[in-house]
Amino acid sequence: MRDLVGAEWRKIWTGKAWWSLAVTAFLLCVLADAGYLQQELDKGAAAGTDGQLTNTLVQGWFMVELAAALVGMLLVTREFGSGAICRSVLLGGSRARLLTAKLLAGAASGAVFAIGTGVVAAVSPWVFLAGRDQRPDWSMTTTWTLFGVMLVVLAGALWGILLGMVIRQQVVAVVVLLLSTWLVSGGLLRLAPDVGKFTIDEAMAAVYRSGDAGVLSIPWALVVIAAWIVAAGVAARGLFLRRDLP
Q: For the segment 67-83, what is each residue's pLDDT rounded down to a tens digit?
A: 899 988 888 888 887 77
Residue 187 binned pLDDT confidence (cut-offs 50, 70, 90): confident
The pLDDT assigned to 226 comes to 93
Flag whether pLDDT at 57 surpasses 80.
yes
The pLDDT assigned to 113 comes to 92
The pLDDT assigned to 237 comes to 87
**Closest Cα to residue 3, out of 108, 93, 115?**
93
Q: Who wins on pLDDT, 11 or 124?
A: 124
Q: Who wins on pLDDT, 222 or 133?
A: 222
Is pTM beyond 0.85? Reply is yes
The pLDDT assigned to 34 comes to 86
The pLDDT assigned to 41 comes to 77
Provide the H-helix boundaries in 44-139.
Answer: 50-59, 64-82, 84-92, 95-128
Nearest-angstrom CA–CA distance, 5 and 18 = 18
Give the mean pLDDT of 215-226: 90
